[in-house]
């Protein structure tokens, strides 16, 4: 078994990751739906949410225990300039803000703006987003998987593969409204495909931050939290959207902008390193 894991570390990570995550997330979601609320037993979902991190630690320990220290060190790589922190914190919010404004202009939405309410909500939405995805996933995706893929494939190919794996990881979450696919959309082949495009597109930005930070998982967690919170933060500044178009268009535009901008940022970072 040890030799098999050493020979196929990424496949081993994904199999163990999915096994852990789906085994706990799916029953948790079903318990919440059945009881119309969170019960103590449903909290087992937290274990599943941390599947990527647990799997990364186990597989790394099997491959080489000495590699655990460098892996954990990525969690405390925090010494970066203010511009990079500004990018990680505000880029996801700005991206969704632009997407939402385009939606308002295209479909004659209500553009009235409440500054104080929006600003006040930022810390709350960030803290709510932090433990349910960012802290549980990034040691696996960007700490363990991405660097190993980049040893074998190009940066863009590696980014796409992580994005796909990240999308597949959410399969159990598709069974619970709003856990992955937005609650205003039904779950069908098209919305699942759209979600995969979303994880690949967002991965472009994550890879750029990975390159700029030398592989900091701390910064990936921060970026993940603000991407997860961005739509809620933006909607605090504006009246609640009243039409499907004002929900769907920003969702799609956000991923399109993230994919395009992220791709060019990666290329720029590659040229700078070269």
Q: pLDDT for 35-66, tens place per residue?
A: 988 888 889 999 999 999 999 999 999 999 99
Compute the residue count for the chain.
Answer: 274
pLDDT band with cut points at 50, 70 and 90 for residue 175: very high
Q: Does some domain include residue 185?
A: yes
Side-chain-side CA neighbours of residue 16 (13 Å): 21
Q: Does some domain include residue 148?
A: yes
Q: Is the dihedral of CA 176, 228, 164, 148 positive or negative?
A: negative
Q: Which residues of 148-164 are buried (b: 16+ CB within 10 A; e: fewer)?
A: ebbeeeebeebbbbbbe
Residue range 215-269, pLDDT digits in tens: 999 999 999 999 999 999 999 999 888 889 999 999 999 999 999 999 999 999 9
Distance CA 97, CA 106 (A): 14
Q: Does some domain include residue 92?
A: yes
The number of folded domains in the chain is: 1
Average pLDDT score over residue span 8-15: 97
Q: What angle do CA 155, 156, 159 make, to 5 degrees?
A: 85
Q: Does some domain include residue 143?
A: yes
Q: Which residues of 185-205 are buried (b: 16+ CB within 10 A; e: fewer)?
A: beeeeeebebbbbbbbbbbbb
Q: Does some domain include residue 100?
A: yes
Q: Does some domain include residue 8?
A: no
Q: Is the dihedral of CA 113, 117, 119, 123 positive or negative?
A: negative
Average pLDDT score over residue span 169-177: 95
Q: Does some domain include residue 25?
A: no
pLDDT band with cut points at 50, 70 and 90 for residue 274: low
Q: Does some domain include residue 90?
A: yes
Segments forming the whole domain that contains residue 171: 75-273
Per-residue pLDDT at 111: 79
Per-residue pLDDT at 117: 81
pLDDT of 273 > 80? The answer is no
Q: pTM score, two decimals?
A: 0.96
């Amino acid at each position: 078994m040890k030799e098999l894991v050493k020979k196929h570390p990424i496949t081993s990570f994904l199999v163990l990751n999915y096994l852990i995550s789906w085994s706990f997330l799916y029953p948790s979601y079903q318990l919440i739906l059945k009881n119309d609320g969170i019960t103590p037993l449903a909290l087992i979902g937290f274990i599943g949410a941390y599947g990527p991190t647990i799997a990364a630690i186990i597989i790394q320990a099997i491959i080489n225990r000495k590699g655990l220290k460098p892996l954990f060190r990525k969690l405390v790589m925090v010494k970066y300039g203010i511009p990079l922190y500004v990018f990680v914190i505000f880029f996801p919010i700005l991206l969704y803000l632009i997407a939402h404004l385009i939606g308002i202009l295209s479909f004659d939405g209500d553009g009235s703006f409440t500054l104080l309410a929006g600003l006040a909500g930022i810390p709350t939405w960030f803290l709510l987003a932090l433990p349910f995805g960012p802290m549980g996933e990034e040691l696996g995706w960007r700490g363990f998987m991405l660097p190993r893929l980049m040893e074998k494939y190009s940066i863009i190919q590696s980014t796409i593969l992580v994005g796909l794996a990240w999308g597949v990881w959410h399969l159990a979450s598709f069974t619970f409204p709003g856990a992955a696919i937005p609650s205003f959309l039904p779950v069908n082949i098209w919305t699942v495909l759209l979600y995969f495009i979303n994880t690949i597109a967002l991965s472009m930005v994550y890879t750029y931050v990975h390159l700029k930070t030398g592989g900091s998982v701390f910064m990936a967690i921060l970026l993940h939290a603000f991407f997860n919170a961005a739509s809620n933060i933006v909607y605090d500044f504006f009246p609640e959207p009243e039409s499907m178009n004002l929900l769907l268009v920003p969702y799609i535009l956000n991923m399109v902008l993230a994919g395009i901008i992220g791709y060019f940022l990666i290329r720029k970072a590659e040229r700078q390193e070269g």
